[in-house]
Structure 1
Amino acid sequence: MNFILYSDVNDSSISQSLGRPEYSYYFVLKAYRPVLESLGRVHVVSSTAEVDPLYRQLLAADESTLFLSFTPPQKTPNDLECPTICVIAWEFDSIPDEQWDNDVRHDWTRMLARQGRAITLSSHTARAIRRAMGEDFPVLVLPTPLWENFAAIRSRHTSVPVNAGSTLDIKGCILDTRTLGLSADSLIPPPLTPEQQAELDALRPPPLTLKRRLVIARHYLRLWALDLGKAQPVPVHRTHFLSQWYWEGIRDLLSDPAHSRLAKHLPAIAGPQSVPEHVPAPVDLPDTTEQVQTRVDGVVYVSVFNPKDGRKNWHQLISAFCWAFRETADATLVLKITQSDLSSYYTELMTLLAQLSPFACRVVVMHGYLDDPQYARLYEAASYYVNASRCEGLCLPLMEFMASGKPVIAPDHTAMEDYIDERVAFVVKSSEELTIWPQDTRIIYRTLRYRPDWGSLKTAYENSYRIAKEQPLEYQQMSHAAVERMHDYCAFAPVQQRLADFFGLAPQGVPAAVVTDNASC
């Protein structure tokens, strides 16, 4: 059997793709590859245009071939000769079963019906597919095999509830609340000095004269007249010209009540007035080119996420920690960020931490690249891993820390229901809430995700800290249970056997080394 593999992100583009919605598929492909190589020959292509020529070449040699597309169904070609299967990471309770933007590919039911079967990363996704496609539709649930990757960490490191001291280093920058001088007062801008007020007044435009108002009216009347000669199914531009003339030429002459009465009869002028896009003031960002380090100790909580990923619920993850340990100096939260652009979240993060201050606990934010030894030190430094997501397609970092022997704080919804329970985790309560399919340009609420309970998350922090400080034996039991859970769930052999059974192939043994990476899938 030949397997042709494709992902939008590849080895050459991954460094520029961190944070993209589908970048995690790259890590899934890398993790699946050794398993597929134990069942047949693997060919990784850099473009879907390479699939059919390779398929025809192998067909001429009388070799069977299957194309595994590590991209969402709407991005997978539907006109290939080669038999195709999508590998789907999906975190919502239903799959798209409608088309929009005049594109049939957005209807996953049509795409999957053409392919005839699918591979998913979780039971949650498999149920969503079967609800749309029928209970008999062939779906393989196949988590990424990563348990073996952490054998070295498990052999040299025993998880302890209280860290006596570990050094973490990274090429990038480290933001540490112990050295940032945070204060909520800093969020209030100081009053303007007389000189600053004078400069601001000088920038204000002078009051409109009658002549200037006539110039504005003539300008928009001319644009309106030119537009009359154009064929317009809906005269959007014409009402726009009226609105612009009103806001620029005479709105300042009317009181707010007068404006409201007028807007009832002329909705086109109701606004809001179009204004130039706000340009935020430049932020003095930390240097991210140096190798930097810090030391952490006490009860150390770790979370890995992209702040621009709306699923991750990181505001609550941080705020619940700071409230739970407001008076606790030896509790530390380490946040490893998987977003390459520091400016995209820096101000938002600093504002949140300033709003929460003062607090005795410590928050350490690591921005930049961690190589394998540096990541290993992060795994070993942790007492617990924390997830507070609204939904997950798999959550590789959570599984990786569990495979390293770390108990966790996490909800038991979506993909996490396959491996999270009270033996390995302080389970965060959650409830369903309506949301949209993320690729749906119509922004229509068609599916469900989960709303983690903030109070339950805060309680989980408090209970986990108490266990770490007062019941080390119970902590060790949870640590051993986490390792056992990952062995049963994502060791190479069971994953290989599931894949072999699905394709009707004979396994050829476990390779000497299995490689994966870190992602937020």
Structure 2
Amino acid sequence: MNFILYSDVNDSSISQSLGRPEYSYYFVLKAYRPVLESLGRVHVVSSTAEVDALYRQLLAAGEDSVFLSFTPPQKTPVDLQCPTMCVVAWEFDSIPDEQWDNDPRQDWTQMLARQGRVITLSSHTARAIRRAMGEDFPVLVLPTPLWENFAAIRQQHLPVPVNPGAALAIKGCIFDTRTLGLSADALIPAPLSAEEEAALAAELEAARPPPLTFKRRLIIARHYLRLWALDLGRQQAEPVPRVKFLHNWYWEGLRDLFADNLHGWLEKRLPAICGPQPLPLIEPPPLDLPDTTSVVETRVDGVVYVTVFNPKDGRKNWHQLITAFCWAFRETCDATLVLKITQNDLASYYSELMTLLAQLTPFACRVVVMHGYLDDAQYARLYAAASFYVNASRCEGLCLPLMEFMSSGKPVIAPDHTAMEDYIDDSVAFMVKSSEELTIWPQDTRIIYRTLRYRPDWGSLKNAYEHSYRTAKAPTPEYQRMSAAAIQRMHDYCGFAPVQKRMADFFGLVPQTTDAAPVTDNASC
């Protein structure tokens, strides 16, 4: 069997793709690849246009193939000769079963029906698909096999509840509440002194343009009338520019020459030309952001909580995650929350995050924000530094970071909804209660309520922080018991052998007992 793999993101583009909606499919493809190699030959293509040519070449040699598209159903090709399946990460209780924007691809039931089977990352997603497609529809629930990837970390770093001190480095920048000097008072602008007000008034007066002379007004009016006349002979989709010329002709050239009682009369009869001027767009001043091209380092110790998320992803519920931490540990000096950000654009969240932290001040605990790309070696340092991993999401399609930290032997704080129901319970986690709430399918441009997600309880999250801290500081083996349980849970859930068996049974294949077949790389993954 030949497996042809494709993802929108590959090795060369991943560092620039952080924050994209489907960037995590890249990591799923990489995790599946060794299992697929044990069942057949793997070919990774850089474009879906390469699939059919490769399929025909292999078919001519008498070899079967299947194309696995690591993309959502609406982005999976439907016109290929090669048998096609998509790998779906989905976190809501229903799949799109209607179309919008005159695009039938948005109806996942049509797309999945054409493919005839599907691979999902969780039991939650499988149930949503079977509710729409029927209980007999072939669905393979296949978590990413990553447990073996953390063997070295498990051997080198025994999980400890209180970190004696660890260095963290990242190519980017680090914000530390111990050094930022944040204060809620800074959110309120200081009043200007009399001298400052006078200086500002003088500056505004100096910037005021001189009054227009009658001759100058006629020149301006003639200029816009000329542009309007020239534009009459041009073909255009919309008449907005022509109206704009006349609007400027009236407002900038002639309006002040008319008596005040004529202004209202003209605006009523010629609103497009004489109506009010739109307010000018005021651009905010540019942010003074740090350099993100060099490697920076910080040191953490004590009870260290780590979370990995994209601040522009509304599912991650990061405001509650931070506020519950700062409130639970507002008088606790040795509690640290490390936020690893998976978003390239620092300006897109900087002000929102810093405002939130300033609103929470003063607090004795520490928040460290790491912005940038971590390679494997740097991520290993982050795994080792953590006492706990924290998830407070409204919904998850799988949550690879949560599984990775558990595979490293870290107990977690997390709810047990959506994909996390497959591997989270009170033996490995300090549970966060949640309840259902209405939401939209994220790609639905109509923005209408069609599905459900979850609302984590803030009080339960705060209690989980406090309970986990007491466990870390207590002279009991409870932390070590939870650590061992997390490792065993991931071994059983996402170890190579159980994932390989599920995949082999689904495709009707026998795992190879000899060395893995050669892999053909058409693109890096």
TM-score tier, shorter chain, comes to 0.7 to 0.9
Q: Tell me by how many angstroms 1:58 deviates.
A: 1.1
Residues 296-375 of structure 1: pairs in structure 2 closer than 5 A = 296-375=300-379
- The answer (yes or no) to whether the contact 2:142–2:503 under 8 Å persists in 1 is yes
Q: Tell me by how many angstroms 1:510 deviates.
A: 9.4
Q: Note the alpha carbon deviations across 1:54-102, whole angstroms, 9 max, x for none.
A: 1111111111110001001101111111110010001111111111111
Match of 2:315, SS state, is coil
TM-score by length of 2: 0.85
Cα 1:206–1:152 change in 2 (3 A) is same
Q: Tell me by how many angstroms 1:235 deviates.
A: 12
Matched, 1:119 2:119: yes
Match for residue 395 of structure 2 among 391, 397, 403: 391
Residues 115-154 of structure 1: pairs in structure 2 closer than 5 A = 115-154=115-154
Matched, 1:66 2:66: yes
Structure 2 match to 1:103: 103
Structure 1 match to 2:38: 38
Structure 1 match to 2:87: 87
Q: Note the alpha carbon deviations across 1:227-275, whole angstroms, 9 max, x for none.
A: 9xxxxxx99999999x999x99xxxxxxxxxxxxxxxxxxx9xx99854
Cα 1:389–1:202 change in 2 (3 A) is farther
Q: In structure 1, how many angstroms separate the alpha carbons of the residues matched to 2:514 and 2:300? A: 37
Matched, 1:467 2:446: no
Q: In structure 1, how many angstroms separate the alpha carbons of the residues matched to 2:83 and 2:174? A: 48
Structure 2 match to 1:453: 457
Q: Gapped runs of 5+ residues in structure 2?
A: 232-237, 253-271, 517-525
Match of 1:55, SS state, is helix
Q: In structure 2, how many angstroms separate the alpha carbons of the residues matched to 1:272 and 1:159? A: 67
Match of 1:397, SS state, is helix
Q: For residue 357 of structure 1, what is the amino acid of its counterpart? A: T
Structure 2 match to 1:261: none
Q: Note the alpha carbon deviations across 1:464-511, whole angstroms, 9 max, x for none.
A: 001111254111111000000000000000000000000000012598
Structure 1 match to 2:262: none
Q: In structure 2, how many angstroms separate the alpha carbons of the residues matched to 1:26 and 1:293? A: 27
Q: Tell me by how many angstroms 1:416 deviates.
A: 0.5
Q: For residue 352 of structure 1, what is the amino acid of its counterpart? A: L
- The answer (yes or no) to whether the contact 1:244–1:273 under 8 Å persists in 2 is no
- The answer (yes or no) to whether the contact 2:15–2:373 under 8 Å persists in 1 is no
| Structure 1 outlier segments of 4+, above 3 Å | 192-198, 200-208, 234-241, 271-278, 509-512
Task: Out of 502-511 and 406-415, give the one that drifted further.
Answer: 502-511
What is the Cα-based RMSD across aligned positions, in Å? 3.5
Rg larger in structure: 2
Matched, 1:493 2:497: yes
Match of 1:349, SS state, is helix
Structure 2 match to 1:184: 184
Structure 1 match to 2:12: 12
Q: For residue 29 of structure 1, what is the amino acid of its counterpart? A: L
Structure 2 match to 1:47: 47
- The answer (yes or no) to whether the contact 1:34–1:511 under 8 Å persists in 2 is no
Task: Out of 275-284 and 170-179, give the one that drifted further.
Answer: 275-284
Q: For residue 450 of structure 1, what is the amino acid of its counterpart? A: Y
Structure 1 match to 2:257: none
Q: In structure 1, how many angstroms separate the alpha carbons of the residues matched to 2:172 and 2:465? A: 28
Q: Tell me by how many angstroms 1:288 deviates.
A: 1.6
Match of 1:311, SS state, is helix
- The answer (yes or no) to whether the contact 1:299–1:330 under 8 Å persists in 2 is yes
Q: For residue 136 of structure 2, what is the amino acid of its counterpart? A: D
Cα 1:444–1:509 change in 2 (3 A) is farther
Q: Tell me by how many angstroms 1:13 deviates.
A: 1.7
- The answer (yes or no) to whether the contact 1:379–1:404 under 8 Å persists in 2 is yes
Structure 1 match to 2:506: 502
Q: Tell me by how many angstroms 1:141 deviates.
A: 0.4
Q: Tell me by how many angstroms 1:290 deviates.
A: 2.3
Task: Out of 341-350 and 476-485, give the one that drifted further.
Answer: 341-350
Q: In structure 2, how many angstroms separate the alpha carbons of the residues matched to 1:135 and 1:196? A: 73
Structure 2 match to 1:230: none
Q: In structure 1, how many angstroms separate the alpha carbons of the residues matched to 2:203 and 2:438? A: 49
Q: In structure 1, how many angstroms separate the alpha carbons of the residues matched to 2:224 and 2:320? A: 49
Q: Gapped runs of 5+ residues in structure 1?
A: 228-233, 249-267, 513-521
Q: Tell me by how many angstroms 1:341 deviates.
A: 1.8
Q: Tell me by how many angstroms 1:342 deviates.
A: 1.4
Q: For residue 507 of structure 2, what is the amino acid of its counterpart? A: F
Residues 212-227 of structure 1: pairs in structure 2 closer than 5 A = none
Task: Out of 326-335 and 340-349, give the one that drifted further.
Answer: 340-349
Cα 1:272–1:115 change in 2 (3 A) is farther
Task: Out of 123-132 and 169-178, give the one that drifted further.
Answer: 169-178
Q: In structure 2, how many angstroms separate the alpha carbons of the residues matched to 1:239 and 1:123? A: 58
Q: Tell me by how many angstroms 1:51 deviates.
A: 0.7
